[in-house]
Structure formats: structure tokens, C-alpha cells
Structure 1
Amino acid sequence: MRGERADQVNLNRLAVFVALVRAGSFTAAAEQLGMTKAMVSQHLAKLEQELGVTLLVRSTRRMSLTEAGATFHADCVRLLAGAEAAIERVGTARDRPSGTLRLTTSLDYGNAVIVPRLASFMRQHPAVQVDLVLSDHVSDIIAERFDLAIRGGWLRDSSLRATRLGSFRQLLVAAPAYLAERGTPRRVDELPSHSVVAMSALPNPLRWNFTTRGGKRSTVRPRPLAQANSAAAVRGLVLAGVGIAVLPDYLVDEDIRAGRLVALLAHLHLPDGGIHAVYPGPRAPAKVRAFIEHLQAAGG
């Protein structure tokens, strides 16, 4: 019976009751609440009916709380204060980065780019804790409760929100030892005779589309000697001299500068890939917006 009565109480009437006690009269309460005196009286009457107790005793000149009314009033004040505090906390979380930022990205991009930028972000926002998950598996960010995913490549259609952070170049590379043994390809039509390490996680790992500076296009469909679902693993195989591969610039730029890898067919261009921040919901929380802005300021 007690549970049924609680379910029947209109909680909006609690605020009217507290305002009435604070104002000291129905007239003053009506003015403060922006409603008629009759409406205030009606709310009180219905609240008393729903509770099954008398809260206020009224005379022509004054009103006073009953014992049950005084106890209930004290409980209502605490309840409404707690609700106001909860609303304020939500507003603070909405406007100020705080809490745990749970995000995911690929192993290679995460280690090469996201980890150092997370470190600088955390120094700027000490109220944010980070839970980073590195995986080459494309996570279901809603089911796995991620706030954010950083994805490279070409986005598939999705109901998720996406913000473009930047782009990366695809480079055809090989190790000097491999080229010394097999020769350096100078033309696209020489590529099918070379050993290829394919990145199987790509939408079309065995279709390379090259474009000249003049806009002429050519497509190569190599046969892989080996393949891997991780760009880092493909890079490792190429560094070991297994074959040539297409890899993102952020993963091999340092290798090229150090002479560990050689960029091939530099006069041709492979399609650029995009780096996107992907998140659920129509409006990202402050911690997500702040990290996206941090990545954009740093260039993706």
C-alpha cells in the first residue's frame, strides 16, 4: 500500500508545497510561482489527498504546519536541494571537461599520435581521467561504452557523429635490402612482379589506385606474399625485407627520414585517408569536445 501511494504522488507538487511554506501565505506563494492563488490551493489539496495526511492547518489569518507537515517539509527541502545539486553537476559536466574519457583507436595511430597528445591534454585538464583502448578491431562504441573513437581511413555510413581531424598520405614503401635484391620499381606496371605485404584491414587491400600530377589514373591489383590486419605488423614485415607495401605517412615518415625505408614511385599519388573523431549522441560532452579541439589544434 505504501509503495502504491508513493507512485501516485505528483512530485511537482512538492516544489509548490515548499514554496508555500517559505512564502508564508497562498497569495505570496502564488506571486513567486507565477500561478493563481486557487492553483496553489489546488496543488496542496491534491498533495494532501495523494499522501493521505493533512500538511497545513489554515485559519482566516494564518497557516501552520501539522506535525506530519513539518516532517514532510524537511524531507522535501532535502530532496529538492539534492535535485538542484544534481542539475548543477550535470551543467558543470556539460561545460567543464571532467570525469573519465573512454576512447579507442588503432594500435599504430594510437601509439604514434594519440598517446603523446593525450599526455598533453591531461596536463591541461587535470579533472579528466583517461581509459584508452588500442585495437585494430572496429569497436561498437555504443555497445562497448566508448565516449569517442579515433578512426583513420574512409568512414562507412553510420548514425554516429563524426568530426574530421585531418588526413594522411598513403605511401608505397620498401626496405633498402629488399630493393637491393629485387630492384627498385620505376613504373606502375612493374609492381605485379614484386612481393607485396597487404594490409587486410583496408576496404580494398589489393587495389592500389595511383594518380599522376596530370590527373591520369592507373590501378594495380597485386598478389600478396603476406598480409596482416595491423599496419604496425605490415611495417614490421616490410622493415624485415619481406616486400613492398602501402602504409600511412604517420607510421613510416620517420623510417624514411632515417633510411630504414624508401618511398617508391614518389611522382604518383595514392588516395589520402581521413582521420575522424567519432562519437555517439547529438551533442558530445565537454570532455569529448575538449579532446577533439585539442587534436584539431595539434593538427589531427
Structure 2
Amino acid sequence: MSSEVNLNRLAVFVALVRAGSFTAAAETLGMTKAMVSQHLAKLEQELGVTLVLRSTRRMTLTEAGSTFHAACARILAEAEAAIEQVGSDQEKPSGTLRLTATSDYGTSVVAPALADFMRSHPQLQTDLVLSDHVSDLIAERFDLAIRMGWLRDSNLRSTRLGSFRQLLVASPGYLAGRGEPRSLAELPSLAWVSLALLSSPLRWTFTAPDGSRRTVRMKQAAQANNVVAAHALVRHGAGVSVLPDYLVTDDIREGRLVPLLAQYRLPEGGIHAVYPGRQPPAKVRAFIGHLRAWLAAQT
């Protein structure tokens, strides 16, 4: 038997057996009768066995041909089912949606949006992993990542969902004995809660109403390794920090935090959906659309 068998001939062989004749098989396959016969002859040559006994009026499977046909029919059926499943996955959300986000944004935004999404797609299972390190989507088998800020260069695909503001805040308790700062020049005298994962956690550039910029270096009083921890420290009076709007809006509205020097702006960060592959499956496309609508409804 040849070590290489042309697998396309398997489909011709199965079609021939199903049709019952070379003429009928040729019509089904859209090829000539001679070509069907040639494919069969080459397949028998590659296998080193006779599959079909032919006469002028009929064709009959040999014992080897009958066994081989059953196996080929099963293989082709499984291949067709796999192709259909892939197509279905591209058209209708199914399976498990495995996604990752940072602990702060994942808790405050992604989890509520995902819970709402699940009510609309009860056939889907979800696996939400919150982590403050940048996950390898391919190695860790994630379908999707929601990433904040400024994206690194990569081979992954991304869709911008929106943006968030960075706000300078402190608790009323911390400000009680000091008063609110009136200018940027006062910031270095305040206790600063820094975020360790930033490249320059103590240097911040503010934009004034007239468009001018000023960079201020803060004095660190405490450091946290993620935004959730920094938020907790600030809320409990440890000092001043810059935190994302989605995390502090409720605190500001309910008086647990106070925005400082609101006339100055800090750079806005992006909210991105990041995924591997050019054609994300339907479950990924559906959640991206849902999260975009969810964010729009919150503004």
C-alpha cells in the first residue's frame, strides 16, 4: 500500500457506492464517468486492494471494499459535522466564553455586563478570570480580554469600546485637617497613594483649561499593586491618588470621595476588547456588541 493516499478519492468512492453506478456518481459529482473510474482505479492502486468488482451491467463491493466504505462514510460524516459546527459557531453564540479583565474593571463593569449578557444567551457558559497581569490569550486559551489604558503592540486584534477619565481624588476624612489643594503646586505636599504597575507612578501631567501642560512629581506615602487596593487606601484616608472614573463615580456622588482640582484634565485611557484570530466566533462578537451597548447606556 502506498504511504500517501489522496483523501479526495475517499469522497469519490463514497459517492460512487451511494449512487450505485459510475454514471450516476459522475452526475452527482459534476465530473465525467471516465474521471470517476480513474479516481477509483488510483485509489485501489494506492491502497493495494480491489474495492469494486465491475461488469458491463453492475458493480459490486469486495469484502475489503465494503469494510473500507463503512469507515470512509463515517470519516466523511464526521468531517461534515465538524464543518457544520464551525459554521454554526460563527453564526450563533455557543460553547464557553472564556474572558479576562483587570480586577477593578472586571468587578465594577465587566461582571455586571456579563451577567446581563448571560440572561440573553442561556445556552452559553462563561468563565471570567480577573487578573492585573497581561494574560497571554493564546497560551491561556482566552477568547477575549478587556484591557484598559494604552495597548501594547501585538499580533492580536482589538476593538475600542470607549474611554475612561482619570480623576484626582481624596477622602473627606483625609482632607478634613488639611483642606483641599487650590493649585498643582500643593500636590507634592500631600500624601500620595501610588500604583506600582504604572511605569511612572509618581509623575503626572495635567492639562489646564488653556491647554497648557504641567508635570508634577508626587511624594509617596503608600503604594498598592492594583487599582482596587489603591482605591481602598484612598477611601480610608491614606492619601490622594488618581483613580479611574468607573471606580469612583459612585463614591463621589455619595460623598465618600472628593474630586480635586477638577479644572485640570489628565489623559483619558481607552477601553479595548482584544482577541486572537481574524474572525472571532459568534460568542465573542456577541459579547463585544453587548458590552459596547452596556457602556453606552451607562453614560
Same fold (TM over 0.5): yes
Residue 211 of structure 1 pairs with residue 188 of structure 2: no
Q: In the aligned structure 2, how far is the partner of 1:283 from the partner of 1:257?
A: 41
User: Which residue is 1:284 aligned to?
Assistant: 280
72-81 or 258-267, which moves further after superposition? 72-81
| Contact 2:2/2:48, CA 8 A, preserved across alignment | no
Residue 264 of structure 1 pairs with residue 251 of structure 2: no
User: Which residue is 1:69 aligned to?
Assistant: 65
Residue 17 of structure 1 pairs with residue 13 of structure 2: yes
Give the secondary structure class of the aligned counterpart of 2:295.
coil
User: Which residue is 1:138 aligned to?
Assistant: 134
Residue 157 of structure 1 pairs with residue 153 of structure 2: yes
Deviations 1:25-51 (A, max 9, x none): 223322321222222111101111222
Deviations 1:129-154 (A, max 9, x none): 11111111111112111111111111
**Equivalenced residues, count:** 296
RMSD value over aligned CA atoms? 1.5
Letter in 2 for 1:71: T
| Contact 2:4/2:46, CA 8 A, preserved across alignment | yes
Deviations 1:152-181 (A, max 9, x none): 111121211111111111000001111112
Q: In the aligned structure 2, how far is the partner of 1:72 from the partner of 1:84?
A: 18
Q: In the aligned structure 2, how far is the partner of 1:8 from the partner of 1:158?
A: 39
User: Which residue is 1:118 aligned to?
Assistant: 114
22-31 or 264-273, which moves further after superposition? 22-31
Letter in 2 for 1:270: L
Give the secondary structure class of the aligned counterpart of 1:268.
coil
217-226 or 202-211, which moves further after superposition? 202-211
Residue 261 of structure 1: how far off its partner (Å) = 0.7
Residue 171 of structure 1 pairs with residue 167 of structure 2: yes
Q: In the aligned structure 1, how far is the partner of 2:233 from the partner of 2:133?
A: 20
User: Which ranges in structure 1 are unaligned for 5 or more consecutive residues?
Assistant: none
Q: In the aligned structure 1, how far is the partner of 2:236 from the partner of 2:2?
A: 71
1:232 aligned residue (228, 231, 246): 228
Residue 274 of structure 1: how far off its partner (Å) = 0.7
Letter in 2 for 1:125: H
User: Which residue is 2:270 aligned to?
Assistant: 274
| Contact 2:157/2:276, CA 8 A, preserved across alignment | yes
Letter in 2 for 1:209: T
1:60 aligned residue (56, 59, 63): 56
TM-score (norm 1): 0.94
User: Which residue is 1:201 aligned to?
Assistant: 197
% identical equivalent positions: 70
Residue 182 of structure 1: how far off its partner (Å) = 2.1
Give the secondary structure class of the aligned counterpart of 1:82.
helix
Deviations 1:232-276 (A, max 9, x none): 111111112111000001111111111111000011111111111
User: Which residue is 2:100 aligned to?
Assistant: 104
Q: In the aligned structure 2, how far is the partner of 1:276 from the partner of 1:170?
A: 16
Give the secondary structure class of the aligned counterpart of 2:177.
helix
Give the secondary structure class of the aligned counterpart of 1:202.
coil
2:43 aligned residue (29, 47, 50): 47
Residue 293 of structure 1 pairs with residue 262 of structure 2: no
Structure 2 CA distance for partners of 1:256 and 1:6, relative to 1, 3 Å: farther
| Contact 2:94/2:123, CA 8 A, preserved across alignment | yes
Q: In the aligned structure 2, how far is the partner of 1:202 from the partner of 1:168?
A: 16
98-107 or 210-219, which moves further after superposition? 210-219
2:251 aligned residue (245, 249, 255): 255
Letter in 2 for 1:148: L
| Contact 2:195/2:227, CA 8 A, preserved across alignment | yes
Deviations 1:186-227 (A, max 9, x none): 111111111110112223322211112221211111121111
Residue 7 of structure 1: how far off its partner (Å) = 4.5
Structure 2 CA distance for partners of 1:289 and 1:7, relative to 1, 3 Å: farther
